[in-house]
Structure 1
Amino acid sequence: MLKEIEVILLSGMKFIHAADLHLDSPFSGLKDMPSSILKELRESPFKAFQTIINEAISRQVDFIVLSGDLFDGENRSLRTQVRFRTEMEKLQQHQIPAYIIHGNHDHLSGSWITVELPDNVHVFSGQTEVKRFEKIDGTTVHLYGFSYPRRQVRERMIETYIKAEGADYHIGLLHGNLEGNSEHSPYAPFSLKELAAKDFDYWALGHIHKHQVVSEDPLVIYPGNIQGRNRKESGVKGCMLIEFDGDMKRHSFIETSEVIWESETIERSAEGGFDALFKQCKEVIERKGFDGRSFLLELKLDAGDAAGASGEYLEELTRILQEEDQGESFVWVYKIKLIQSIPMNRSNESISPFLAEVSRLASEFDDTEAALAPLYIHPGARRFLDSIEPDEHRELLDDAERWLFHVFEANK
């Protein structure tokens, strides 16, 4: 009996899975930000990566896997590569290997001066291959993956993942898009059915920047990116700790984000003047400050039926809040947005038939993607456009509905 327990314990495996590091992300477009905060923001992806390395060492993991887009661009800088190598050398000192695939952002066809990495780093080539890891106790793992040979890989690369017998565990590294997700580039597409058919123990995915446990059986996870880079990448970011113990599989999320993008809604009454609103904003900022972490904050003012706040007014309020002292952990208000409710009841038959029809169409419209398609295929515009998230679809419709209502009211 004791012998059986010993075998089970020896068959355990523990590793960290991260993806979409985007080291050297430029963080452009944030105006009026103090240089100290901008510097902290630009440094945040690398600090998040250092957190991963420190966690790997302190938790004594067997190895780490990085599932693509380590660098933000195909022409990675020498400084970033050298800093990355330094972190890999830290792992080497603790005999922790790193298994890496490159994605669409840091594909193998980019132009850069190569920096030699230590022997504990294993980078997958442009064709799907298998790498073998073996623990001191004899437990073995086969890791499967490929690096993007070019920026766009639209083939079903999942078909090239062939299970090689002779290992206790099988882990697939794949930087690609799960079918049915239309919000991201359809690179290296795959279905959950295809993943399950491979009979792997774990799929270490990359490409989608939002943490998502796609499936528990088989265990399939997008860890998300390690640091939010814009308002669409809001909330806490991090990596995954994966533990195998015989047939048991456990996963837990490790927070890594140095700066968190968030939005807060403030309900504002029609009677409240500037001082009341200023106090409400300050209370939100102070509450965030008690957290001890740094935030980039969007404030949404729910004004009910009363507007009372022009764009100029909101910009000035934003600047006043930005002038508040910032400590080591900052709360920087980068935008204040007015959310003005439409003063009509969709179920009220007494409202204008025109407005009732606008409201009905807005509530039923579900083809925003098709409506925006001309912009995304335009050769001049598509270079500057990111994918639209579902909540942004709704926000666009709400803004359009409010605009039509006010135009109608003004011309009655």
Structure 2
Amino acid sequence: MLSFIHAADIHLDSPLRGLERYEGAPVDAIRNASRRALENLVDYSISEAIPLLVISGDVYDGEWKDYQTGLFFAKQMVRLRDAGTRVVMIHGNHDAQSIISKKLHLPDNVRVLSSRKPESFDIGELGVTVHGQSFPKQAVTENIVRNYPPAIPGRFNIGLLHTALGGAEGHANYAPCTLHDLKSMGYQYWALGHVHDYKELNAEPPVLFCGTLQGRHIHETGAKGCVRVDVDESGEVSHSFIPLDVMRWAQVELDATDAANSDEICERLGDMLLPEIDNAEDRLLAVRVFITGTCPAHAELMRDEHALLNALRAKVMDTAFEQVWLEKVKLKTHAPVDLDALRDAPTPQGALLRTLEAAREDADQLPELNPDVQNLLDKLKAEGIPVPDIEDPAERAALLADVQDLLVPFIASAKESEA
């Protein structure tokens, strides 16, 4: 019987820049989350008497700010050594050999596989051989699996690889390869890193992304942790996902259809959050709310999004959701107007809408507004505020869509007043 843990993408002390700009953000809890998650991993390994931990890259998020990051990791490895746990790891694109200049000695239970070429490390007492290669540089664009050593007969062969495989959304295509490449090596388990979601890509042999140990931002939602692998006497492999994160990120949709005002929207918030709170199981929960639907409240919402965000935060506090932090509110509501009729009408309001829609396709359709727009962009840049590129068709279309959503309820009400 063999048990081991597959972990990756710890991103220890990830800087999480910009958190201070968010009102009420639990900055300390979020910044320390990667350390607490690593402690959870070590606690679990010790409590379950797991003899082997394999880590498939990106222990660190980049060059250390100081030695405290490396010292913290070394301390956790000492805890594992004292409990009798071996650790075999590789470096990925974030902690490649060329990126981390500061070095610290790790305890002798930790083996970091070579960055010069693929390497095999045999653990005789466990009957295991681990194969892999650390990244020598950030951008490893060649298929390094083709040079991995062959499987060792009579051993349980584990392959470590930091890769996007054939490509994954939001992840650079490092160490590209195919599922066929991995299966052809004859290993009994492939422990992959780089993609931050738990994914089983193949059953026999198991090929898995364990995902990141702790979600770091709103695009890394849901449970995060490691994979526990158990091999019975017959060689049959089973595995299970073990959540180890200390906080969760979630994106939820609040249906504001027919809501008359922001108070009604606040009242709908509590019921919508309950399932996410239950899923978080007493963890800190950071939530981004998308408010959708056609409603009379649209004009009020668009007029002051900041007031709406804080009204919703007050509702969260009033409902005693102490572990919930509303990270951001995104408005995707619409005014209850006949947009086609408004656009086609021979009125100044209709002409404005037609101009805005034409400008989505062609920036030259805004000649009269260009000086004012450029003046505004210059002021924003002077304040250090990121500005959209209005020459980029996608950014321009998104910006003008927001402008239209903001204007529609006001020009619609103006038309009604004229009538």
List runs of 5+ in structure 2 lacking aligned partners.
345-353, 358-385, 387-393
SS at match of 2:158: strand
The residue identity in structure 2 corresponding to 1:206 is G
Amino acid of the residue matched to residue 249 of structure 2? W
Could you tell me which residue of structure 2 aligns to residue 293 of structure 1?
283
CA distance in 1, matches of 2:333, 2:60: 40
> Matched residues in 1 for 2:337 and 2:185: separation?
54
Deviations 1:123-177 (A, max 9, x none): 1111210001123xxx411100111111111111011112142442100000011
* Secondary structure of 1:70's aligned partner: coil
Measured after TM superposition, the shift of residue 333 of structure 1 is: 0.4
Match for 1:339: what amino acid? K
1:34 CA drift (Å): 3.7
Which of 266, 273, 282 matches 2:261?
273
How many aligned residue pairs are there?
356
- Structure 1 range deviating more: 288-297 or 240-249: 288-297
- 2:121 equivalent in structure 1: 131
1:177 aligned partner: 164
**How far apart, in 1, do the equivalents of 2:207 and 2:290 lie?**
35
Say whether the 8 Å CA contact 2:52–2:86 is kept in structure 1.
yes
| Alignment partners' CA distance in 2, 1:157 and 1:17 | 20
Residue 233 of structure 2 corresponds to residue 234 of structure 1 = no
1:313, 1:27 → 2: CA distance?
Answer: 27
Indicate the percent of aligned positions where both proteins have the same amino acid: 28
CA distance in structure 1 between the aligned counterparts of 2:18 and 2:258, rounded to whole angstroms: 33
Deviation string, structure 1 residues 337-389 (Cα, Å, up to 9, x no partner)? 122369899xx9xx99xx9xx9xxxxxxxxxxxxxxxxxxxxxxxxxx9xxxx
Give the match's secondary structure for 1:308: helix
Instruction: Summarize the alignment of residues 9-408 of structure 1 with structure 2, pairs less than 5 Å apart.
Output: 12-30=1-19, 31-34=21-24, 37-75=26-64, 77-126=66-115, 127-135=117-125, 139-181=126-168, 183-245=170-232, 246-285=234-273, 288-289=276-277, 291-304=281-294, 306=296, 307-322=298-313, 324=317, 330-340=323-333
Normalised to the residue count of structure 1, the TM-score between the two structures is 0.77
Q: CA deviation at 1:28?
A: 1.7
C-alpha contact (below 8 Å) 2:6/2:54 kept by paired residues: yes
How far apart in 2 are the matches of 1:28 and 1:63? 34
**Aligned with 2:310: secondary structure?**
helix
> What is the alpha-carbon distance in structure 1 between the residues aligned to residue 199 and residue 120 of structure 2?
25
Asked whether the equivalents of residues 303 and 338 of structure 1 are also in contact (C-alpha less than 8 Å), the reply is: no
- Of 302-311 and 193-202, more deviation after overlay is shown by 302-311
Maintained 8 Å contact 1:142/1:167: no
Cα root mean square deviation, aligned:
3.4
- SS of match in other structure, 1:303: strand
CA distance in 2, matches of 1:326, 1:91: 42
Q: Give the AA of the match of 1:128.
A: P
For 2:153 and 2:293, locate their aligned partners in 1 and report how far apart those are by CA, in whole Å: 64
TM-aligned CA deviation for residue 400 of structure 1: 8.0
Q: Distance in 1 between matches of 2:331 and 2:48?
A: 46
CA contact (8 A) 1:288 1:331 kept: no
Amino acid at match of 2:286: L
For 1:243, give the aligned amino acid: D
The range that moved more, 153-162 or 265-274, is 265-274
Question: Normalising by the residue count of structure 2, what TM-score does the alignment of the two structures yield?
Answer: 0.76
- Aligned residues of 2:249 and 2:286 also touching (Cα < 8 A): yes
- One-letter code of the match for 1:42? R
Q: What is the Cα deviation at residue 404 of structure 1?
A: 9.8
Tell me if structure 2 keeps the 8 A contact 1:285–1:331: no
SS at 1:340's partner residue? strand
Give the SS at the match of 1:99. strand
> Unaligned regions of 5+ residues in structure 1, if any?
1-11, 359-384, 386-394
- Assess, with a 3 A threshold, how the Cα gap between structure 1 residues 18 and 326 changes in structure 2: closer, same or farther: farther
Give the match's secondary structure for 2:123. Answer: strand
Equivalent residues of 1:267, 1:303 under 8 A apart: yes
Compared CA separation, residues 274 and 183, structure 1 to 2 (3 A):
closer
